[in-house]
Every structure is written in C-alpha cells, then in structure tokens.
Structure 1
C-alpha cells in the first residue's frame, strides 16, 4: 500500500468512505434524509477540503463548523454519530493507504470530529 499523495488519492478515499457511510443505516439517514446529499456534487468539495487540510492547497472557503451546526439543528448530531463517522473514516484510510499522510489525515479527522462534537453539544444546550 502507498501513502496519500495527491487529489486522486483523496478522491478515492472520500468516495470509498461515503460508500461505507451510506451503507450504514445507523448514520446514512443524515446524508439521505436530513441533508439530502448529492454525492456527485459533494465529493469534489470534500477533496478540496482534505487537499487543503493535508497538502495546504487552499480553495476550501466554506465554514465547516457552521455547516455542521446547521445540520445538527435539523437532526442532532450525537456523539455516537461522530464515533461512527470516525470509525468509517479510519477504516477506509487503513484499507487504502499507509504512511505519514495517512496518519496525518486520521489525526486531522479526529480533531475535526472532536471539535464538531463539542460545538454541536454546546449549541444544543
């Protein structure tokens, strides 16, 4: 296995990751019923986000926190949902890649999930 090296690798990662999310009924409803996600439109945005995060390429201008707070107002994003998300993310990375960037992206995903979970919990109070 190789490390995550470019946007093609990131596209493969997020595509496989979302296949896992969408096939898991404990979380898929967030994407299908609450957000009504158009995956074809969303994948390039995710690649841009992770490319900026991993390779410092820039280009992602959305407010990640506010997007998730808005979703959580429609359907509370529980700590369990963040655990499921992180589990599928880490599993996908581990199945496809190995190396420093693979480890870095898993750490970044943990940081993001932790911050978003805290923020959504605070917002719910």
Structure 2
C-alpha cells in the first residue's frame, strides 16, 4: 500500500468512505434521510476539503460546521455518531493506505470529530 499523496488518492479514499458511511446502520440516515445529500455535488466538496487538509492545496471553500447545525436541529448529532464516523474513516484509511499522511488523516479526523461533537452538543443546550 502507498501513502495518500495525490488528488486521485484523496478521491479514492473519500469514495470508499462514503460507500460505507451511507450504508451504516447508526449514521447513514443523516446522509440519506436528513441531509439528503446528492453525492454528485457533495463528493467534489469532500475531495476539496480533504485535499486541502491532507495535501495542503487550498482548494476547499466553505464552512463545514455551518452545514451541520441544521441537521443537528432535525436529529441530534451525538458523540456516538461522531465516534462511528471516525471508526469508519479510520478503517477506510487503514484498509487502503499506509504512511505519514495516513496518520495525519486520522489525527485530523479525530480533531474534526471532537470539535463537531462539542459544538453540536452545545447547540442543543
């Protein structure tokens, strides 16, 4: 296996991740029923997001936190949901890549999950 080094690697990773996450019993409904994401529009944004984070190419424009507050209002995004998201992310990363950027991908996802969980919880209180 190789490290995450190119846009193609990021796209492969994100595609593999979404293949799993939208089918997940615990969190899939957030994507399919609550947010009703259109993968043809959503995935390119996620490619840009992760390319910016993992490869340092500033191609992502947006406010990911803001997109999650309306979802949280419909159905609470709880710590257990972020933990599952992270579990699927880690497995997907480790199943397909190895190297320095792999550890970065997991560390960054962990930080994202913690911050999102904290902010979503505070928004409900």
Q: TM-score, normalising length from structure 1?
A: 0.96
Partner residue in 1 for 2:71: 71
- The residue matched to 2:4 in structure 1 has which SS? coil
Q: Is 1:56 the counterpart of 2:18 in the alignment?
A: no
Range with greater deviation from structure 2 (3-12 or 65-74) = 65-74
* Distance in 2 of aligned mates of 1:42 and 1:8: 16
Superposition deviation, residue 110 in structure 1? 0.3
Please tell me the root mean square deviation across aligned C-alpha atoms, in Å: 0.8
What are the ranges of 5 or more consecutive residues in structure 2 without an aligned counterpart? none
* Distance in 2 of aligned mates of 1:119 and 1:2: 34
Q: Deviations over 1:51-73 (max 9, x none)?
A: 11112211212111111122211
Q: Deviations over 1:43-96 (max 9, x none)?
A: 111010001111221121211111112221121101110011000000000000
Q: Is 1:9 the counterpart of 2:9 in the alignment?
A: yes
Superposition deviation, residue 40 in structure 1? 1.7
Superposition deviation, residue 17 in structure 1? 0.4
Q: Is 1:108 the counterpart of 2:74 in the alignment?
A: no
- The residue matched to 1:23 in structure 2 has which SS? coil
Aligned structure 1 segments of 4 or more residues deviating by more than 4 angstroms: none
- The residue matched to 1:98 in structure 2 has which SS? coil
Q: TM-score, normalising length from structure 2?
A: 0.96
What are the ranges of 5 or more consecutive residues in structure 1 without an aligned counterpart? none
